[in-house]
Amino acid sequence: MRIGEAARLAGTSTRALRYYEAQGLLTARREANGHRDYDETDLRLVREIRSLLAIGFALEDTRPFVECLRSGQPSGDACPASMAVYRRKIAEIDGCVARLLEVRNHLAGQLDRLGDTIEGEP
């Protein structure tokens, strides 16, 4: 299928498909006239990339998942490299949560310290 149809079916833009190709995440075949040609496997890769991007992964973080699918695995997270990305992302999120809790506790402490002096003020 041509790039426009592939983009429509994958829920993305032709520009994104070209970018994924430039980053080495997709490898479009070329027709005799030079047009890109995509198949269902390519759509599956793009959907995997898009689902990971949607939950906050960086594009480079998607690479192990794409490679896992390319290797014939039924799922992009069936490979050790993908699981390593999950572990790293969980550690990042845990760090963010810890930092947010520190900020929350600081703010709650400030309110406790101030007591009723500002209660009811906008």
Total domain count, the chain: 1
**121 by DSSP, 3-state: which?**
coil
pLDDT value at residue 41: 94
Mean pLDDT of 55-73: 96
**27 by DSSP, 3-state: which?**
coil
Find tokens 């390593």 and name the residue.
84
pLDDT tens digits for 93-116?
A: 999 999 999 999 999 999 999 885
Domain of residue 30 covers 3-118
Mean pLDDT of 76-100: 97
CA gap 26, 23 in Å, rounded: 8
pLDDT value at residue 119: 54
Q: Are 38 and 28 in contact (CB under 8 A)?
A: yes
Q: What is the CATH number of the domain that holds 14?
A: 1.10.1660.10
Q: Are 50 and 40 in contact (CB under 8 A)?
A: no
